[in-house]
């Protein structure tokens, strides 16, 4: 089985290292010092118990050198994915599946869902239908990323917690390809349950992100800090209610209450959300996939999102002020 990891940062390298150790034919597509270190010394994967191993998958910044793959797992930031449709083409054969292992609403959301909006695309996450036409929704497999991993030095990743990567076909079918992917990930020591309704898993992660990320970027507060302020907590619950209304209107099922979902986030402690970290590091934030796309979905299904709209406007302005969002 040939698997390319497109965007092999922390999560992508973790996946690639584990799969490579298990015997899969893995190629990591990366750039910069991280790529150079992996090419020179291999990929060092470290764990909380002090154990580690070094994997030596192929590593390159040129997808054209790799040939057609069975699976391409895209682990880029959501706003970067449309930009790699062209460079990705040499990896795509007639049966290649493209696994979206990114935060937020996926570009293929309405594929295989049926109903009045079947085949509709989302401009906020797929401008100009670039991915829909350049990759094709029939290739798409959904993946939700739960582990926490970080790059501690070029070519070195530290696994912090978690091993679950739920996957699913947009149609909900249990196909041969989804079974093969689950088997490969399981053989690598990861949990990859096949979900009949992968959108429910996507929404459970998105639900917290669409509330916590923009408010943390606006306030500079950690997760615990957001939970300590009564007025901010009230705002977060309002955002959660609006998000849930949108999700349910497009068929998602929420397995827990907003109280439980947000409490779990507050209990993580003095941790900065990914959006706040990106802002502090001068990197573009995943505003569109995590927030704008939810307001776009709300407009499509007729669910009003006034507080989400207000927070979105503020975080977009914050990002523009920092030169991190289109004007």
The answer to whether residues 267 and 176 belong to one domain is: no
The answer to whether residues 83 and 129 belong to one domain is: yes
Question: Among 162, 196, 230, which residue terminates a domain?
Answer: 196
The pLDDT profile of the chain, 327 residues, written as one tens digit per residue, is 999 999 999 999 999 999 999 999 999 999 999 999 999 999 999 999 999 999 999 999 999 999 999 999 999 999 999 999 999 999 999 999 999 999 999 999 999 988 888 889 999 999 999 999 999 999 999 999 999 999 999 999 999 999 999 999 999 999 999 999 999 999 999 999 999 999 999 999 999 999 999 999 999 999 999 999 999 999 999 999 999 999 999 999 999 999 999 999 999 999 999 999 999 999 999 999 999 999 999 999 999 999 999 999 999 999 999 999 987
Q: What is the rounded CA–CA span in Å between residue 213 and residue 275?
A: 5
State the CATH number of the domain containing residue 90.
3.40.50.720
DSSP 48-61: TTS-EEEE--EEES
Q: Is 261 domain-assigned? A: yes
Q: Is 327 domain-assigned? A: no
Within 10 A of 96 (CB to CB), how many other CB atoms are there? 19
Q: Is 7 domain-assigned? A: yes
The answer to whether residues 191 and 249 belong to one domain is: no
The answer to whether residues 54 and 15 belong to one domain is: yes
Q: What is the rounded CA–CA span in Å between residue 298 and residue 249?
A: 8
State the CATH number of the domain containing residue 236.
1.10.1040.10
The answer to whether residues 258 and 205 belong to one domain is: yes
Query: What is the CB-side half-sphere exposure of residue 271 using CA atoms within 13 A?
Result: 12
pTM: 0.96
Active site residues: 205
Question: Among 148, 166, 196, which residue terminates a domain?
Answer: 196
Q: What is the pLDDT of residue 121?
A: 94
Cβ–Cβ under 8 Å, residues 191 and 180 = no
Q: Is 171 domain-assigned? A: yes
Characterize the bridge pairing of strands 97-100 and 140-143.
parallel
The answer to whether residues 36 and 112 belong to one domain is: yes
The answer to whether residues 132 and 17 belong to one domain is: yes
The answer to whether residues 178 and 246 belong to one domain is: no
Q: What is the pLDDT of residue 114?
A: 82
Which residue has 């409490």 as its token pair?
263
Q: Is 326 domain-assigned? A: no
Residue 113's domain comprises 2-196
The answer to whether residues 158 and 223 belong to one domain is: no
pLDDT, tens digit, for every residue of 201-236? 999 999 999 999 999 999 999 999 999 999 999 999
Q: Is 158 domain-assigned? A: yes
The answer to whether residues 167 and 258 belong to one domain is: no
Q: Is 325 domain-assigned? A: no
Question: Among 178, 196, 214, which residue terminates a domain?
Answer: 196
Query: Cβ neighbours of residue 46 under 8 Å, at least 6 residues apart?
Result: 52, 152, 156, 157, 158, 159
Q: What is the rounded CA–CA span in Å between residue 203 and residue 289?
A: 12
At 253, list the tokens: 């099922």
- Total domains in the fold of the chain: 2
Q: What is the rounded CA–CA span in Å between residue 107 and residue 82?
A: 9
What H or E segment, with its residue span, contains residue 35?
helix 32-41
Cβ–Cβ under 8 Å, residues 287 and 214 = yes
Q: How many residues does the chain have?
A: 327
The answer to whether residues 127 and 210 belong to one domain is: no
Q: What is the rounded CA–CA span in Å between residue 11 and residue 19?
A: 12
The answer to whether residues 60 and 173 belong to one domain is: yes
Q: Is 11 domain-assigned? A: yes
The span from the first CA to the last CA of the chain, in angstroms, equals 43
């Amino acid at each position: 089985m040939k698997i390319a990891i497109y965007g092999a940062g922390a999560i992508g390298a973790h996946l690639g290292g584990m799969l490579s150790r298990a015997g899969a034919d893995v190629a990591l597509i990366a750039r910069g010092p991280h790529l150079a270190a992996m090419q020179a010394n291999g990929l060092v994967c470290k764990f909380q118990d002090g154990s580690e191993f070094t994997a030596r998958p192929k590593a390159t910044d040129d997808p054209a050198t790799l040939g057609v793959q069975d699976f391409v797992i895209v682990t880029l930031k959501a706003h970067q994915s449309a930009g790699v449709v062209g460079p990705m083409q040499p990896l795509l054969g007639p049966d290649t599946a493209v696994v979206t292992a990114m935060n937020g609403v996926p570009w293929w959301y309405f594929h295989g869902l049926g109903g009045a909006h079947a085949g509709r695309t989302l401009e906020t996450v797929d401008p100009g239908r670039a991915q829909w036409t350049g990759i094709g929704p029939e290739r798409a497999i959904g993946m939700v990323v739960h582990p926490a991993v970080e790059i501690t030095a070029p070519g070195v990743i530290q696994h912090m917690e978690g091993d679950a990567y739920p996957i699913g076909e947009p149609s909900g079918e249990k196909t041969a390809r989804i079974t093969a992917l689950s088997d490969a990930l399981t053989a690598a020591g990861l949990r990859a349950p096949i979900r009949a309704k992968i959108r429910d898993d996507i929404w459970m992660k998105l639900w917290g992100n669409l509330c916590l990320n923009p408010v943390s970027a606006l306030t500079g507060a950690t997760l615990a800090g957001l939970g300590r302020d009564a007025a901010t907590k009230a705002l977060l619950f309002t955002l959660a209610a609006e998000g849930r209304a949108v999700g349910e209107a497009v068929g998602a099922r929420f397995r827990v209450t907003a109280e439980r979902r947000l409490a779990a986030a507050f209990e993580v402690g003095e941790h900065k959300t990914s959006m706040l970290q990106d802002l502090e590091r001068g990197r573009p934030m995943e505003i569109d996939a995590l927030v704008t796309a939810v307001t776009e979905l709300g407009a499509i299904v007729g669910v009003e999102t006034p507080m989400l709209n207000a927070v979105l406007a503020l975080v977009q302005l914050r990002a523009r002020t920092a030169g991190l969002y289109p004007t």
